[in-house]
Amino acid sequence: MRYFLLLPIVAAGVYCAQPSSNHQENVPAIEKDTLPPVETQKPNSTYKPAFPGQTRVQGVKTATPYKVDKIAEGLGKPWAITPLADGRFMITEKSGFMTIHDANGKQLKKVTGFPEVDTRGQGGLLDIAPDPDFAKNKMLYWSFSEKQKDGTNLTAVAKGKLSPDETQIENPTVIFRATPSLNSNLHFGSRVLFDKSGNLFVSVGERSILEGRRQAQLLSSGLGKIFHITKDGKPAPGNPFIGKKDIMPEIYSYGHRNVQGLAFHPVTGDLWEDEFGPMGGDEVNIIKPGKDYGWPTITYSLEYSGQKVGEGIQQKAGMEQPIYYWDPTVAPSGSVFYAGSAIPEWKNNLFICGLASMHIARLVIVNNKVVGEERLLTDKKERFRDVAYANNMLYTITDGGSLYRISKK
């Protein structure tokens, strides 16, 4: 999802989130040999990709010896893991609290005092991000499902100060609500990520039900969007729709289904995301300001019933193609780029958690194209919810309440 060296690493600028088409990266020689794609199951649909390498690229295999250690278990229902600059980690628990752990997984603190969350279905306390000046101001920003007085709910973003003893959130304040609220317990999103300017990117799902699905294409609605907001919840300067009539000025991109992964490329500064399709059609995208990512008009997925989504089309003028997609589904969740050098072939690779697929997908990227894929931790048989990078290592949490550390042997 993110790493604590984020701010200096992306100093080259995420604000111009256009892909760097002339950017060159070297693929380690060990991985130039062709391996078969890691996906061996038959796709759900007969849809054809828009370009070579958009799905089922060649497989790769890590040559550098690495180890996987389970460093904590019994974490309940964790949703996000976020590194702090001092080497510790914050882990949110869906029921409405957070824990702080040391680098070896030991729980140091339990933090309460968050606003009440709606824990029905996929709801709860979701993502969390420390302020870029957290060491000085102790401010935290988080997303959660908020129940409204009429029984409906929505995705909200709040901020608050961590108490001196690190056990309470002081003065929690909601700064943004993705309206309208609906009667649904699905597709809240939601990732929260600071950019180099100290503003927040926030992803929000379209709530799954048809009423919300239609609004993913509606610019007056906060459903199925990625927002760019200030620390006070206002539109970030330079947003693509500021000053335009009947459009939410906080919107950065739209046409999304349920985005649970956001990560900045360590070199280009581009914002990458991953989102769920229904039956296949999970996507990886590079997010550009003001762009339409197509849901539900174009998609490589099918309905859970096996029927076409809408008109069953995959391309339309004015709508972005995914950089990569999966069919059948992997159910992608949290993601992060590996920014270290301890495992050389992982440098600048994107790691995406798989829920239904029970693995972590490693994607090798060259010139904004996926050129290799590997599946990690398949032997654990766990639903991987989120992943973080720190100090040449990856840390990942699972729906089963486990915390794993992946490091060089």
For the annotated catalytic residues, the residue numbers are: 187
On whether the CB atoms of residues 81 and 401 are closer than 8 A, the answer is: no
Q: Which residue has the tokens 């909601």?
A: 174
CA–CA gap between residue 149 and residue 168 (Å, rounded)? 26
Q: What residues are paired with 275 via a beta bridge?
A: 259, 283
CA–CA gap between residue 156 and residue 178 (Å, rounded)? 6
Burial track 173-191 (b if 16+ CB lie within 10 A, e otherwise):
eebbbbebbbebbbbbbbb
Query: Nearest-CA neighbor of 365 among 11, 52, 24, 61?
Result: 24
Query: Nearest-CA neighbor of 187 among 146, 154, 159?
Result: 154
CA–CA gap between residue 375 and residue 398 (Å, rounded)? 16
CA–CA gap between residue 409 and residue 403 (Å, rounded)? 18
Strands 169-177 and 192-194: unpaired
* Number of Cβ within a 10 Å radius of residue 29: 9
Q: Which two tokens mark 160?
A: 């608050």
